[in-house]
């Protein structure tokens, strides 16, 4: 059986393993010559909408696109934190209330900040509406602080 095993092993090597290894090595050499980079696309930061002139439509458009990108990024952060919190509670089981407390606090802070900035704006919100909401919130806080000071 030793000769037969050796024959079957060599036959397998020369018919299956050899060509597959040759092709894989060839493909790896081609990929090493032309590496492809997978990075997130990075946009330059543009001026916020409050720095744009009323008649500067290009600046307003860029600020609007920046606002939409920022909102999408913050939504994804909230989704990732929700997933991590769910994984932690599943992993920890009955001890999740204590073991996942730092993660829950981080999620609550991020969700509160997102709600403060983007809440009540709706799906068709714009950078100008968000800026006005922020301005109104700051004015209300200033009024409350003056009222409490008196």
Q: What is the pLDDT of residues 45-81, one digit of tens each?
A: 888 898 999 999 999 999 999 999 999 999 999 999 9
State pLDDT tens for residues 72-103: 999 999 999 999 999 999 998 889 889 999 99
In the structure, what pLDDT confidence band is assigned to residue 1 with cuts at 50, 70 and 90? Answer: low
Query: Residue 139: pLDDT above 90?
Result: yes
- 10 Å Cβ neighbour count for 100? 20
Q: How many angstroms separate the CA atoms of 97 and 144, rounded?
A: 36
Chain Cα centroid distance, residue 66: 15
Contact 115, 78 (CB under 8 A): no
Q: Tell me how far apart the 2 most distant CA atoms of the chain are, in Å.
A: 102
Q: How many angstroms separate the CA atoms of 130 and 118, rounded?
A: 7
Contact 81, 106 (CB under 8 A): yes
Write the CA distances from 105 to 24, 71, 96, 109, 121, integer angstroms: 48, 21, 13, 6, 25
41: tokens are 């696309």
- With 0-12 / 13-18 / 19 or more C-beta atoms within 10 angstroms meaning exposed / middle / buried, residue 89 is middle
Task: Say which residues have a Cβ less than 8 Å from residue 84's Cβ, sequence separation at least 6.
Answer: 103, 107
Residue with tokens 């730092």: 102
Residue with tokens 């919100």: 125
**pTM for the structure as a whole:** 0.66
């Amino acid at each position: 059986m030793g000769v037969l095993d050796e024959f079957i092993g060599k036959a397998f090597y020369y018919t299956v393993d050899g060509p597959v290894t040759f092709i894989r090595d060839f493909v790896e050499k081609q990929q090493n010559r032309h590496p492809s980079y997978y990075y997130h696309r990075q946009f330059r930061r543009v001026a916020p909408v409050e720095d744009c002139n009323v008649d500067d439509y290009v600046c307003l458009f860029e600020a609007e696109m920046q606002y939409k990108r920022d909102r999408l990024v913050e939504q994804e952060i909230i989704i990732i934190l929700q997933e991590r919190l769910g994984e932690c509670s599943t992993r920890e089981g009955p001890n999740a209330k204590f073991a996942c407390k730092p993660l829950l606090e981080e999620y609550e802070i991020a969700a509160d900040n997102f709600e403060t900035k983007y809440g009540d704006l709706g799906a068709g919100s714009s950078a100008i509406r968000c800026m006005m909401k922020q301005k109104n919130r700051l004015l209300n806080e200033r009024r409350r602080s003056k009222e409490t000071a008196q």
